[in-house]
Structure 1
Amino acid sequence: MLSPGLPQGAVPRLERPGPLRERVYDALLELITTRALQPGQHLVESELAGHLGVSRQPVREALQRLNTEGWVDLRPAQGAFVHEPTEEEADQLLTVRTLLEAEAARLAASHADQAGLDALNELVELGMAAVDADDVDAAVALNARFHAKIMEIAGNVVLAELAGQVDRRVRWYYTPVARQRGHQSWIEHRDLIAAIADRDEQRATRLMREHTEHTRRSYHARQDA
């Protein structure tokens, strides 16, 4: 049911008590966004329930919510399947991401302090180490943390909320190209930090726009291949 190569024990059983419906939803969404559950994969309620150690009811409710949000497709007489994003969907999301991230970089160049710059540099070092170790999951998670830190430094709450709404989908699209982007992505991060440290809003905006465009093009190139 889960993708081949998923480490044994990677799907934790959910412990009671607590808002079980919400926790099942969170667990399934994490498996989808990390592509442990692949686009187009058939989702069998009984198998998911067994992996998570719950009954089928909270799984069914979670699948219905994921369907409403566009992560899962419920097909009559066939069941649930992980949504397969179209080229247009990917392009629209990654284009919006570019707009949000570019503005965040501009604001970060205006507001960054030394503590923020130190945090960004630490994330780059960790990201480089993850790439060296060929740890794709860690690299993807650290990439998300780096961009979230830029948003935090930017200091615009509304912008951060909007970025948060697309964050999981960005991870979904970034994961397949993370290995391909490799060190180059983190080199671009370093250049961006330099622009922010210099308080060069125009350069920071340009570098972030180019950086996110590289990811968008890499995703489309992989799909074409």
Structure 2
Amino acid sequence: MQQLDGDAGGEQVVRTIGADHVALREQVLEELRRRIVDGEYREGERLTETRLADDFGVSRNPVREALRVVEAEGFVHILPRRGAVVATLDETAVRDLFAVRQQLETLAAGLAAERATPAGIASLRTLIDEANTATAAQDFDRVAELNSAFHRAVIEVSGNRWLHSISAAMYHHVHWVFRVGAAQRAPHSSEEHVRLVDAIEAGDAEAASTAARLHVEAAAKAALG
């Protein structure tokens, strides 16, 4: 539904009814997801609509809608008469995540080596530098965020829109898993990222795919202990 509002100059401006509500829902969703991923809401913790509405200073409606999304993404379970409970990163879920990552990221790396532009390479190296700075500052929330941003950027450089589409939700979970052990993993991850970008910049698809596979294997080993 649309409504016409007049501005100071007498011109009519189209305002979409409900647009503010949609924006609020997205803000609640982003913040709810962030708090789960960063560990502010811990695994197994109960999240009632009333509590979340109080936490965010909003009504229960955008909270209810955000909970539906994070349930579909696998971050919470909705239990009868209990409400939402933060999901647990059990071993099976983590193994499944890395199995998918290995297939997706090796493909993306090979394509990136074939299609990378100088601007794309520069963006990858910038993300590595920013992650190193955050590691030095021991800002591991930021390191985890930049880790996922780096892998999404490799997919952008690959130029494959299908990989981009199907990976979006996955990298929220990658962030979640990485954050748990970020302090120990960050320096090794950075070195592996550099090797991957070097192979992409060299245009060596086989070397890039291998670097991506070894990186995922190392990350899985660290996450699974």
- TM-score (norm. length: structure 1): 0.85
Whether 1:17 and 2:17 are equivalent positions in the alignment is no
Letter in 1 for 2:206: Q
Out of 133, 140, 146, the residue aligned to residue 129 of structure 1 is 133
Counterparts of 1:25 and 1:120, CA distance in 2: 27
User: For residue 101 of structure 2, what is the aligned residue in structure 1?
Assistant: 97
- With over 3 angstroms needed to count, the CA separation of the structure-2 counterparts of 1:197 and 1:62, relative to structure 1, is closer
Counterparts of 1:217 and 1:188, CA distance in 2: 14
Out of 110, 115, 120, the residue aligned to residue 116 of structure 1 is 120
- With over 3 angstroms needed to count, the CA separation of the structure-2 counterparts of 1:68 and 1:163, relative to structure 1, is closer
Out of 144, 151, 175, the residue aligned to residue 171 of structure 1 is 175
Whether 1:143 and 2:115 are equivalent positions in the alignment is no
Post-superposition offset of 1:56: 2.5
- With over 3 angstroms needed to count, the CA separation of the structure-2 counterparts of 1:70 and 1:120, relative to structure 1, is closer
1:74 aligns to what SS in structure 2? strand
1:177 and 1:215 in contact (8 A); partners too: no
Further displaced range: 104-113 or 49-58: 49-58
Counterparts of 2:155 and 2:65, CA distance in 1: 33
- With over 3 angstroms needed to count, the CA separation of the structure-2 counterparts of 1:68 and 1:191, relative to structure 1, is closer
Question: What is the aligned length?
Answer: 206
- With over 3 angstroms needed to count, the CA separation of the structure-2 counterparts of 1:68 and 1:116, relative to structure 1, is closer
Counterparts of 2:117 and 2:66, CA distance in 1: 41
RMSD: 1.8
> Which aligned pairs between 1:14-53 and structure 2 lie closer than 5 A?
17-19=20-22, 20-53=24-57
User: For residue 12 of structure 1, what is the aligned residue in structure 2?
Assistant: none
- With over 3 angstroms needed to count, the CA separation of the structure-2 counterparts of 1:123 and 1:61, relative to structure 1, is closer
Whether 1:192 and 2:196 are equivalent positions in the alignment is yes
Larger relative strand fraction: 2
Counterparts of 2:118 and 2:64, CA distance in 1: 48
Aligned-pair identity in percent equals 35
Letter in 2 for 1:175: R
Post-superposition offset of 1:196: 1.1
1:25 aligns to what SS in structure 2? helix
Whether 1:203 and 2:207 are equivalent positions in the alignment is yes
Whether 1:74 and 2:78 are equivalent positions in the alignment is yes
Post-superposition offset of 1:81: 1.0
Counterparts of 1:57 and 1:124, CA distance in 2: 39
Whether 1:84 and 2:88 are equivalent positions in the alignment is yes
1:109 and 1:198 in contact (8 A); partners too: yes
For structure 1, which runs of at least 5 residues remain unmatched after alignment?
1-15
Post-superposition offset of 1:130: 0.8
Post-superposition offset of 1:141: 1.3
Bigger radius of gyration among the two: 2
Counterparts of 1:195 and 1:61, CA distance in 2: 43
Further displaced range: 176-185 or 43-52: 43-52
User: For residue 13 of structure 2, what is the aligned residue in structure 1?
Assistant: none
1:110 aligns to what SS in structure 2? helix
Post-superposition offset of 1:188: 0.9
Counterparts of 1:60 and 1:165, CA distance in 2: 19
User: For residue 216 of structure 1, what is the aligned residue in structure 2?
Assistant: 220
For structure 2, which runs of at least 5 residues remain unmatched after alignment?
1-18
